Amino acid sequence: MPRKKSKLETYRDKRDFARSPEPAGGGGDWKKRGNPVFVIQQHAASSMHFDLRLEIDGVLVSWAIPKGPSTDPEEKRLAVRTEDHPLEYADFEGTIPEDEYGGGHVIVWDAGPFRNLKRDEEGDEVSLEKCLDNGQVEVWLEGKKIRGGYALVNSKMGGVEKNWLLIKMKDEGADARRNPVSTEPESVLSGRTIEDVRESAEDESA
Ligand code: MN
């Protein structure tokens, strides 16, 4: 019988924790918050993108969003599903060495609790695990910059299984005029911008 794979095996296989400051996970130092958490990290790697992560069943289920989240329901944003990350990653901010996987700089651009909005025809909650399997996730994000309902739909655009779309739902958090990705660049953890993190990393290596 094959051993049941850890959900974090892909995450760990990609990284060398002797070289990367990223958390290996499973160390038990994660303090469980009352509600499941989401985080949106800005990640200046080989290309700039935002990583949306949702706490589901003990891991952070993750998508890379090249343009970041929009508050405009008319704007569909490509969201590429990536490997599950450990819960500890929600607090990760810093610099990954250039020659390591995901090398570059990371800030916690937004974070907060979230809740599942998805209901079946009887009005019963559909579990997030099932929503992922169905390729139809609907969540309410309660961040400092991003608030309201968001749908994640596994569109498989171009025949690519991991391609999803992130779409703002029409509610009081919808606003076609806001553009927090460019107007609110500071980390909600430290107040630093991605450029601040880049500069301090360059100072340290100088
Ligand atoms: Mn990333």
CA of 64 to the centre of ligand 1 (A): 6
Q: How many angstroms is it from 50 CA to the middle of ligand 1?
A: 6
DSSP 57: T
DSSP 2: P
85-96 confidence digits (pLDDT tens): 999 999 999 999
Q: What is the average per-residue pLDDT within 118-137?
A: 96
The rounded radius of gyration (Å) of the Cα atoms in the chain is 17
Q: What is the pLDDT of residue 28?
A: 63
Q: Looking at 2-6, 61-65, 180-184, which range is the least confident one?
A: 2-6
- DSSP, residue by residue, 103-166: -EEEEEEEEEEEEE--B-TTSPBPPHHHHHHHTEEEEEEE-SS-EEEEEEE---GGG-TTEEEE
Closest to 141 (Cα-Cα) out of 1, 40, 7: 40
- The whole-number pLDDT of residue 56 equals 95
The pLDDT of 99-127, averaged and rounded, is 96
Tens digit of each residue's pLDDT (9 = 90 or more) over 144-184: 999 999 999 999 999 999 999 999 999 999 999 999 999 99
Separation of CA 175 and ligand 1 centre (Å) = 26
The pLDDT of residue 35? 83
- Looking at residue 24, what is its pLDDT? 86
Q: How many angstroms is it from 47 CA to the middle of ligand 1?
A: 9
pLDDT band at 205 (very low <50, low <70, confident <90, very high): confident
Distance 32 CA to ligand 1 centre (A): 23
82 CA distance to ligand 1 middle (Å):
8
Return the residue matching tokens 């892909």.
10
Å from CA of 123 to ligand 1 middle: 35
Instruction: Give residue 49 CA to ligand 1 midpoint distance, Å.
Output: 6
pLDDT at 25 over 90: no
- Alpha carbon of 95 to ligand 1 centroid (Å): 12
Task: State pLDDT tens for residues 32-54.
Answer: 667 899 999 999 999 999 999 99
Calculate how far, in angstroms, residue 101's C-alpha sits from the geometric centre of ligand 1.
10
| The two structure tokens encoding residue 174 | 């919808």
Q: How confident is the model at residue 5 (pLDDT cuts 50, 70, 90)?
A: low
Question: Who has greater pLDDT, 29 or 142?
Answer: 142
54 vs 28, more confident: 54
Cα separation, 14 vs 102, in Å, equals: 9
End-to-end CA distance of the chain, in Å?
52
> Which of 57, 54, 166 has the alpha carbon at shortest distance from 114?
54
Cβ-based neighbours of 92, under 8 Å, separated by 6 or more: 21, 22, 23, 41, 106, 108
User: Ligand 1 mean position to 34 CA, how many Å?
Assistant: 26
